[in-house]
A and B are shown apart, each in its own frame.
Chain A
Amino acid sequence: MSGGANAITITWTLGIGLGAIVAAYLMMNENTKKWSDNRIVLVSLMISFSVVLAVLQFV
């Protein structure tokens, strides 16, 4: 695997994992549980990948 592909693998694995946790939280939270499925997925992925990319900048 090339270095670029390895970076994508790390970003994707951490991003999807964190995204699933955020999505689970949004599905249970009183303020967000009425959101549509698509909105929950979109927001959770935006949050998770933003956090992962920001953290990876410093690693």
Chain B
Amino acid sequence: MDFNIFVLAALGVGLYMAWNIGANDVANAMGTSVGSRAITLKQAVVIAGIMEFLGAVFFGEHVTDTIRKGIVDPSKIVDPHIIAIGALSALLGAGLWLTFATWKRLPVSTTHSIVGGMLGFGLAALGFGGISWGGIGRIAASWIISPIAGAIAAFLIFTLIQKFLIGRLEEPARAERVFARFQVLTAGYVAFAHGSNDVANAIGPIAAALTYGSGASVGPTVAVPMWLFAFGGIGIVLGLSTWGYRVMETIGKRVTEITPTRGFSAEFATASVVLANSYIGMPISTTHVLVGSVIGVGMARGIKALNLRIIRDIGVSWITTVPIAATISGVVFMVLTV
């Protein structure tokens, strides 16, 4: 592929992926705060814009894996051209799936989408022997472990708030007002943590493609220049502000009705499970934990408080994320390498 076209394609696909991450991943993370009306969509966009950027620039990983998520072993690929094309194909496969999921208003895991993208490119480039199948097994485990862990934690937290606070206050609505203020802090933190962890999902493969495009050798890791973080941040804010409302509605309104105390319980449960997991090392997805937490606070009011049809659709989208992103990525890779 021509150098200039390749660089432009890398930037275009990276911006598209960042837009998808903003529209689905950041939107679902902030959905409980917006759904409970603790903050407005405009405030969410401003908070996300500032905190994502701060998280990515000051605490993000500035050297990222060329082939992310450990699904494909880059040492098995001799030709750097294949690595760069593969990174782009994976990003496009993940991005197109995320666009579809966002259009259908379904919160899906960005990480699993990228794993699917990497899997598709790995299968097309190396066949079955080139894939680390253990990583795929961990994803399947996440479908079960993540929502159950989130649901149990959120159920317990909200039940405690209900029993020991709301039930004892002369004015129960006061608890909602106070917890709405806590949710503003939560939203800021969620965006910050996302920036430090997940912006590299969009810009890491662009860095690999740009390194290849500049003629330098592409190794297992690649340095990420500062301007790319800003580039990724702009894409994320654009995604959140244009299509973010779709997934926010699902998390904040359609699964169950969210109030500030319920939203706080779901967010705090998610943060606690993710933090505990950083020590235990279970295969979990933050998106899946959050959805489980929202289900958990709904369950605290009984099964009738939950929209089971939406929950079923979300479950199906989680299971189909990897195979569909892999299929798209594999096809794109084969087209680009013909």
Contact between A2 and B196, CB atoms less than 8 A apart: yes
Does chain B have a CB within 8 A of A59? no
Q: Which of A8-47 contact B (CB under 8 A)?
A: 8-10, 12-13, 16-17, 19-20, 23-24, 27-28, 33, 37-38, 40-41, 45
Does chain B have a CB within 8 A of A1? yes
Contact between B275 and A9, CB atoms less than 8 A apart: yes
What are the residues of chain A within 8 A of B61 when measuring CB–CB? 2
What are the residues of chain A within 8 A of B58 when measuring CB–CB? 4
What are the residues of chain B within 8 A of A4 when measuring CB–CB? 58-59
Chain A residues with a Cβ closer than 8 Å to the other chain, count = 24
Does chain B have a CB within 8 A of A6? yes
Tally the A-B contacts, defined by beta carbons under 8 Å.
Answer: 71
CA of A1 to CA of B200 in the docked complex: distance in angstroms? 11
Main secondary structure of the interface of A (DSSP, over half): helix
Interface residues on B, range: 20 to 34
Given contacts A13-B272, A24-B164, A41-B178, contact A5 B264 (CB under 8 A): no
Tell me the minimal C-beta distance from B25 to chain A in angstroms.
16
Contact between A12 and B189, CB atoms less than 8 A apart: yes
Tell me the minimal C-beta distance from B37 to chain A in angstroms.
15
Contact between A5 and B55, CB atoms less than 8 A apart: yes
Given contacts A8-B59, A17-B272, contact A1 B179 (CB under 8 A): no
Tell me the minimal C-beta distance from A40 to chain B in angstroms.
6
Which chain B residues have a beta carbon within 8 Å of chain A's beta carbons? Answer: 55, 58-61, 161, 164-165, 168-170, 174-175, 177-179, 181-182, 185-186, 189, 192-193, 196-197, 264, 268, 271-272, 274-275, 278
- Which 7 A-B residue pairings sit nearest by Cβ, starting from the closest? A5-B59, A5-B196, A41-B181, A24-B165, A13-B271, A37-B177, A2-B59
A-B contact pairs, 26 of them (CB 8 A): A1-B59, A1-B193, A1-B196, A2-B60, A2-B61, A2-B196, A4-B58, A5-B59, A5-B197, A8-B193, A10-B275, A13-B271, A16-B186, A16-B189, A20-B182, A20-B268, A24-B161, A24-B165, A24-B175, A27-B175, A28-B165, A33-B170, A38-B181, A40-B178, A41-B178, A45-B185
Which chain A residues have a beta carbon within 8 Å of chain B's beta carbons? Answer: 1-2, 4-6, 8-10, 12-13, 16-17, 19-20, 23-24, 27-28, 33, 37-38, 40-41, 45
